[in-house]
Amino acid sequence: MADIFEKIKANRGPIGQHAKESHGYFTFPKLEGDIGPHMFFRGKKKLNWSLNNYLGLANHPDVRKADTEAAAEFGFAAPMGARMMSGNSNYHEQLEAELSAFVEKEDTILCNFGYQAILSAIDCLVDRHDVIVYDAESHACIIDGVRLHMGKRFVFKHNDVEDCDKQLQRATKLAEETGGAILVITEGVFGMRGDQGKLKEIVELKKKYNFRLLVDDAHGIGTLGAKGGGAGQEQGVQDQIDIYFGTFAKSFALIGGFISSDEQVVEYLRYNMRSQIFAKALPLPLVKGALKRLELMRNHPELKENLWKITNALQSGLKNAGFEIGVTDSCVTPVYLNGSIPESTNLIYDLRENYNVFCSMVVYPVVPKGMIILRIIPTAVHTLEDVEYTIDCFSKIVGKLKAGEYMSDKIAAT
Q: Please tell me the distance from the alpha carbon of residue 301 to that of residue 384, in angstroms, as a whole number.
A: 19
Stretch that binds ligand PLP, among 68-76, 114-122, 295-303, 310-318 (CB under 6 A): 114-122
Among 37, 180, 257, 339, binds ligand PLP (CB under 6 A): 257
Shortest Å, Cβ 52 to ligand PLP: 7
Whether residue 126 contacts residue 149, with contact meaning beta carbons closer than 8 Å, is answered with yes
Q: How many CA atoms lie less than 13 Å away from 54 in the CB half-sphere?
A: 28
The beta strands (E) that lie in 232-310 are given as 243-247, 257-261
C-alpha closest to that of 349 among 332, 339, 364, 361: 361
C-alpha closest to that of 264 among 85, 88, 106, 117: 106
Shortest Å, Cβ 116 to ligand PLP: 7
CB-nearer residue toward ligand PLP: 191 or 378:
191
Query: Considering only residues 344-373, where is the footprint of ligand PLP by CB under 6 A?
Result: none
Burial 50-84 (b: 16+ CB within 10 A, else e): bbbbbbbbbebeebeebbeebbeebeeeebeebbe
Stretch that binds ligand PLP, among 108-116, 201-209, 263-271, 296-304 (CB under 6 A): 108-116
Shortest Å, Cβ 115 to ligand PLP: 3
Shortest Å, Cβ 187 to ligand PLP: 5
Q: How many residues bind ligand PLP (CB under 6 A)?
A: 13
Stretch that binds ligand PLP, among 110-118, 292-300, 336-344, 383-391 (CB under 6 A): 110-118
CB-nearer residue toward ligand PLP: 96 or 187:
187
Stretch that binds ligand PLP, among 4-12, 109-117, 275-283, 342-350 (CB under 6 A): 109-117
Query: Considering only residues 201-220, where is the footprint of ligand PLP by CB under 6 A?
Result: 216, 218
Whether residue 201 contacts residue 230, with contact meaning beta carbons closer than 8 Å, is answered with no
Among 54, 91, 102, 115, binds ligand PLP (CB under 6 A): 115
C-alpha closest to that of 390 among 327, 307, 333: 333
Residue 271: CB atoms within 10 Å: 11
Q: Please tell me the distance from the alpha carbon of residue 76 to that of residue 54, in angstroms, as a whole number.
A: 26
CB-nearer residue toward ligand PLP: 218 or 253:
218
Residues engaged in binding ligand PLP (CB under 6 A): 113-115, 118, 139, 141, 187, 191, 216, 218, 247, 249, 257
